[in-house]
Structure 1
């Protein structure tokens, strides 16, 4: 239904030369490289590659020549790493387990952050996490890490303790087990995926809406409609700042939820 509505709006805009609103088709761009092959790349795929290369390059440059008295660039990189180590890993998992899972938590945090932030960079202007592949992949990694941690901690009791918490009356155990199975093994990866995906999709659509409306009011409608254009431009800039906050917050939420799930898996009762 949503796709059909978006199609009708887009066709109407093309016919009357009026305002072109953003649609769901923003996230299904045409292939730009290797069309017709298994390696076909769209604009969003190229943005994901750029974000990944930028992430690797920044950390390589920031850590290749570590100094006791760090320069500005090394200091910024170290601050980012310290934030994940002390603010997420050690805070939730303790020093020993925090160090064990620090590489995966650091990778998740910065991968989500760099993929998110492309949504407000001029020339890129769409998040690498706004199509389901990246959020789903990271959710699977988070889920697999959670299961690995639990099985490693208690090979014979992880699943049993996850499904049958202590203190539940016998006649409710199987009902609770079903709820726990859905909550622990199904809903967690689904919500991790959808939370990140929908936030970045909606953010992109809102930014495109504000700036497309600004262009329309200034250069197509003209006259006193330019006053509305000034308003949509102000909202566009304000929402851009808000999107920066959302990009960082979603990276933090994804990483900290992964740490919470690991903490639950390695708790003493498991």
Structure 2
């Protein structure tokens, strides 16, 4: 969990944004940095071990790996990009989905208990430095500079006077807002979810240790809510990884589509 704020002088101090600012472990390296590296190792080891001795009748481990691959390949890449163009982008979409999923799930794993994507820098880097360049690059490559800009900024079928209004809106949406909102979605969900878990956990601990009389029993309610919210958070973590991958594939598909 984040850096929990202890009660000061018997008063309850709820966790806030400062709880996500973790001190460096060594040489400026923080816990989220280590978790990002750990997630890459986990994902690489998972797929390498699952594909080492593949069988026609898959083992449970192989079945899980194939299911994850199928989600990235067919449910996301093929559906959003199209059956004609999706294949070159399967590794990217699968990597984005797996990477965000593992880093999100870190938030509910005992001891680790920190979702890496609750630090805005990580989803922003994925969006601005990975997804954003890719989908604009493939669009420019297919249609050329002028053709791609025309596809993205000039809505087909709109009256010409409307172009003066819609073109600036389309420009800001496609070239500025899309990468930012893509990052903010997963960041906001992970930040808010982890903060809620911290509030219920710290409140339960405070009531149990500091409150008097019957209020101590209320700590059980707070802990119960923390447990329930952990399951809810687990669902949200999976959904947010899926949404990020779907939107990324959708942007690529839109860049490749001539009639967008």
Please report how far the alpha carbon of residue 148 of structure 1 lies from its aligned counterpart in structure 2 after TM superposition: 1.6
Pairing of 1:201-240 with structure 2 (within 5 A): 201-240=191-230
Gaps of 5+ in 1: 1-9, 35-39
TM-score (norm 1): 0.89
Indicate yes or no: 2:173 matched with 1:180. Answer: no
The answer to whether 1:82 aligns with 2:70 is yes
The partner residue of 2:113 within 125, 141, 150 is 125
Residue 260 of structure 1, CA deviation: 1.2
Does residue 234 of structure 2 align to residue 244 of structure 1?
A: yes
TM-score using structure 2 length: 0.92
Structure 2 spans left out of the alignment, 5+ residues: none
Find the residue that maps to 1:41 and give its secondary structure: coil
Counterpart CA distance in 2 for 1:96 and 1:104 is 17
Deviation at 1:217, TM superposition (A): 1.2
Aligned mates of 1:268, 1:67 — CA distance in 2: 41
Shift of 1:42: 1.1
Task: Kindly state the Cα deviation for residue 143 of structure 1 after the two structures are TM-superposed.
Answer: 1.3
CA distance in 2, matches of 1:165, 1:42: 46
Q: How many residues align?
A: 254
Deviations 1:151-193 (A, max 9, x none): 1221140112211122232323222110000111111001011
Matched, 1:159 2:152: no
The answer to whether structure 1 residue 52 and structure 2 residue 45 are counterparts is: no
Q: Note if 1:23 corresponds to 2:16.
A: yes
Q: Which whole-Å deviations, capped at 9, do the CAs of 1:181-224 have from their partners, x for residues lacking one?
A: 01111110010111111111111110010011111111221431
Q: Secondary structure at the match of 1:76?
A: helix
- For 2:36 and 2:21, the matched residues in 1 are separated by 14
Instruction: Confirm whether residue 135 of structure 1 aligns to residue 123 of structure 2.
Output: yes
Structure 1 counterpart of 2:183, from 193, 217, 222: 193
Deviation at 1:268, TM superposition (A): 2.5
Shift, 1:50, TM fit: 2.0
Partners of 2:162 and 2:60 lie apart in 1 by 59
Aligned-partner Cα distance in 2 for 1:114–1:260: 22
Higher relative contact order (CA 8 A, sep 6+): 2
Pair 1:62 & 2:47 matched: no
Aligned pair partner of 1:147 in 116, 136, 139? 136
Give 1:93-104 correspondences, 5 Å limit.
Answer: 93-104=81-92
Residues 1:254 and 2:237 are matched in the alignment = no
Partner residue, 2:61: 73
Residue 82 of structure 1, CA deviation = 0.8
